[in-house]
Structure 1
Amino acid sequence: MSEHRARVVFLVRVPQERTGDFLRAYEAVRHLVAEGVPGHLVDQVCRCATDPEQWLITSEWARLADFEAWERSPEHRDLVRPMRECFTDARSLRFVVHAQTPEPVTSVIRADPAPVVVTGGG
């Protein structure tokens, strides 16, 4: 099961007066992670549409073991400390991707479509 992709979800509360600090800290973390943490695929930060202090941070990993190795590293603790200092509450969940819809197929549109030839009697 550890060979499947994984999604890690953090549900956090950030007081409105700490929003700027939180987003600056998140930007520092996401750029460093995206530039070189093995197994990291993508992450997002989302703000609740109905509660401005509720945030969702998700990250996708090639394998759950990749996230767990990153989370145990001293670099991780030091890097995320400024972000965690903004939280008044936090919950973390880990999921292994069980199934997924296929990636959409993009169609190729030619600039010069071939001419259509119509033949026949009329």
Structure 2
Amino acid sequence: MSERRARVVFLVRVPDERTEAFLAAYEAVRHLVAGGVPGHLVDQVCRSSADPEQWLITSEWASLADFEAWERSPEHRDLVRPMRECFTDARSLRFLIHAQTSAAARPDPRAESPRLSRS
């Protein structure tokens, strides 16, 4: 069986006065990672609708091993340092993707559904 894809989640706190620096640091890193780090598939940065200082950074990887290799690299530490300097709190979680459903997998609502016949 092939290795499962992985989802890495960082829940971070960024004070309002550091938000601009945080977003600039994220912007500087994201295209470099997307274009050149083996195994990286996608990432997102999200801001809490309830607490504007709470942020979520998620990334999806071909495997957890790909993420861990990137995380151990000196290049990773150098690239993310400006972003990490904006955090007052951070929590990292790692998950293996068990199942995924996308909009493309939904049945077409226009398709006729099977009908039970009454005898």
Q: For 1:55-76, what per-residue CA distance to the aligned partner results, in whole angstroms no more than 9, with x for missing partners?
A: 0000000001000000000000
Q: For 1:35-89, what per-residue CA distance to the aligned partner results, in whole angstroms no more than 9, with x for missing partners?
A: 1100000000000001000000000000010000000000000000000000000
TM-score (normalised: structure 2):
0.85
Question: Which sections of structure 1, spanning at least 5 residues, go unmatched?
Answer: 106-122
Question: Which sections of structure 2, spanning at least 5 residues, go unmatched?
Answer: 106-119
Specify the alignment match of 2:54 in structure 1. Answer: 54
SS at match of 1:69: helix
Larger of the two Rg values belongs to structure: 1
Written as runs of structure 1 = structure 2, the 5 A alignment for 1:18-97 is 18-97=18-97
How many residues are aligned here? 106
Larger proportion of helix: 2
CA RMSD of aligned residues (A): 1.7
TM-score (normalised: structure 1):
0.83
Percentage identity across paired residues of the two chains? 85
2:33 aligned partner, one-letter code: V
Structure 1 contact 11–90 (Cα < 8 Å) conserved: yes
Please identify runs of 4+ aligned residues in structure 1 that moved more than 6 A: none
**Post-superposition offset of 1:100:** 1.3
